[in-house]
Amino acid sequence: MYLGIDCGTQGTKVVILDAEQGHIRGEGYAPHALISEANGRREQDPQWWIDAFEQAYRQALAQSCIDSQAIRGIGVSGQQHGLVVLDASGAVIRPAKLWCDTETAPQNAQLLAQLGGADGCRAKLGLELATGYTLSKLLWLKQHEPEAFERIAHILLPHDYLNYWLTGAIAAEYGDASGTGYFDVRTRRWAPDVLALIAPDGRLERALPPLREAHEAVGLVRPEVAARLGLGQQVRVSSGGGDNMMGAIGTGNITDGIVTLSLGTSGTVYACTHQAPAETAGGLAAFCSSSNAWLPLICTMNLTSAANAVRQLFGFDLDQFNIQAAQAPIGCDGITLLPFLNGERVPALPDASGSMLGLNMQNLTPANLCRAVLEGTSFGLRYGLELMRAAGIEVRQVRLIGGGAKSALWRQMVADIMNAPVICPRIGEAAALGGAIQALWCDSLARGQDVSLQALCERYVELDETSALNPSPAAVKAYQTAYDLYRRRLDSLHPGA
Using CB atoms within 10 Å of the CB of residue 107, give its burial: 0 to 12 exposed, 13 to 18 middle, 19+ buried.
buried
User: For residue 75, what is the DSSP state?
Assistant: E
Catalytic one among 101, 176, 243, 443? 243
Question: How many Cβ atoms from other residues are within 10 Å of residue 285's Cβ?
Answer: 28
Return d(Cα 303, Cα 288) in angstroms, integer. 24
**Among 302, 237, 183, residue whose Cα is nearest residue 74:** 237
Beta strands at 73-78 and 2-7: parallel, antiparallel or unpaired: parallel
243 is catalytic: yes
404 SS3 class: helix
Return d(Cα 28, Cα 6) in angstroms, integer. 10
What are the Cα distances from residue 298, in Å, to 34, 63, 130, 262, 445? 24, 36, 11, 11, 32
Return d(Cα 99, Cα 111) in angstroms, integer. 17
**Among 122, 388, 411, residue whose Cα is nearest residue 269:** 388
Residues 6+ apart with CB under 8 A from 256: 271, 272, 273, 274, 393, 394
**Among 219, 190, 222, residue whose Cα is nearest residue 207:** 190
**Among 446, 71, 76, 74, residue whose Cα is nearest residue 232:** 71
Return d(Cα 103, Cα 137) in angstroms, integer. 9
Using CB atoms within 10 Å of the CB of residue 446, give its burial: 0 to 12 exposed, 13 to 18 middle, 19+ buried.
middle
Enumerate the active-site residues: 243
